[in-house]
Every structure is written in C-alpha cells, then in structure tokens.
Copies of this chain bind each other. A is one copy, B any other.
Amino acid sequence: MSRQDSGVAVMAEQKQPNRERIVATANRLFYTKGYNQTSFAHVADELGLSKGNLHYHFRSKNELLDAVIDLRMESIKQMLARWEKQYPDGKARLKRYARILLNEEADVVRYGCPMGSLNMELAKDQRDLQQHSRDMLELFRRWLEKACKQIGRRDYRALSLHIMARSQGAAMMAALYADVGLLKAEYKRLVDWIEML
C-alpha cells in the first residue's frame, strides 16, 4: 500500500517549490509533534530555510495550518475517489475504510490518527482552528454515509459516525499503548461487525 493513503505523507519533500516543501514538512511535524508544539523554527530548520522565508509564504501559523489541511483534504479526496473505483460494493467500501488503520500502522502506533489527534488538540481551546480541521473528518463521514445508504441502511448518518468512532478509538488506544496488536484486533472486530450489517 502506498504511503499516499495516510493523508499525511503526501509527497516527496524535495525538488519542489519551497512553498510546497514547507507545507509538506509542516504537515509531517504537525502530525508527529502536534500543532502547538511545532514552531516556524522547527519547520525552517528541517528544510534549511530561514524563518523569514516561511513568513514570506505564510503570514501566520494559522495560515500554514490552513495550507496543511487543504493539502490533506486534497489527498483524502483523491484516495476516496480511488476507492470508489476499486470497490463498487457498499460493504467492501466500509471495510476498506476500516483497513486504513493498518496502512500506516507504524505511524498510527506512535502518533495516533493524523486527523483525530489534530482535531482533538485544536478542539480544546482553539475551536476556531478546529472548524477547518473538522472538514477532513466530514470528507470521510459523508463518504461512509453514502456507502451505508448503498447497503440499504436508513440510519446511515448514525452508522457513519459509529464507524468513525470505532476507528478513532482504535487508533487512540493503539497509540497510547504503542501496541500494533491492539490496532489489528480492533480492525478485525470492526470488519466482522461490518460483515454482519
């Protein structure tokens, strides 16, 4: 499975305009260190650029976050479109979503879900920033909702939220215990449950 599936490690960070390299590096650091724990200096250092350069491209850290979220959303949209082609069946689509946890299992076990952990961090006292971040969740949720409708479920909204809650819980616990076995076990449970729908 390609690294593109995570929605985080989206592109190589070399041989691109600096603006894109900055977004790619910020994307990675926001994931591995957290948004509030990542500074312009960190990003600049990793790229061998100056802080001033970063501020030329992004007036504020806020703007940089928006760019990172836009990048992730673009990546997510492409992934979901790919899945729609590969899996015509509704249940197969739900199962493919569940499997996302295993794609980047090494990262998930260390840093949690990129979407979930960023959202939760911002939800606490930066709800204005979280608004945009939640759009990422909504991309997945609406896609799941559609798949649920497809298999004839009337409770498609509730189902889509439940499936996301299950995957978020799995990613979180796996990260807190740094245990990939936990991730695999929760994946299996979720797939079995989807099969019974």
List residues of chain A with CB under 8 Å of any chain B CB: 32-34, 36-37, 110-112, 116-117, 119-121, 123-125, 127, 130, 134, 137, 158, 161-162, 164-170, 172-173, 175-178, 182, 185-186, 189
Contacts and interface: CB of A to CB of B under 8 A. Distances in A.
A33 B124 CA distance: 5
A124 B79 CA distance: 25
Given A167-B169, A168-B172, 8 more contacts: A32-B124, A36-B37, A37-B124, A111-B124, A112-B124, A123-B178, A166-B169, A172-B172
B123 A112 contact: yes
B176 A170 contact: no
Contacts of A161: 173, 177, 182, 185
A-B interface, 10 closest residue pairs, ranked by CB to CB distance from nearest:
A169-B169, A165-B169, A165-B173, A33-B125, A168-B169, A34-B124, A119-B176, A168-B172, A123-B175, A165-B170
A137 B127 CA distance: 26
A170 B172 contact: no
A130 B172 CA distance: 13
Contact of A120 (B37, B120, B162): B120
A168 B36 CA distance: 22
A129 B180 CA distance: 21
A176 B37 contact: no
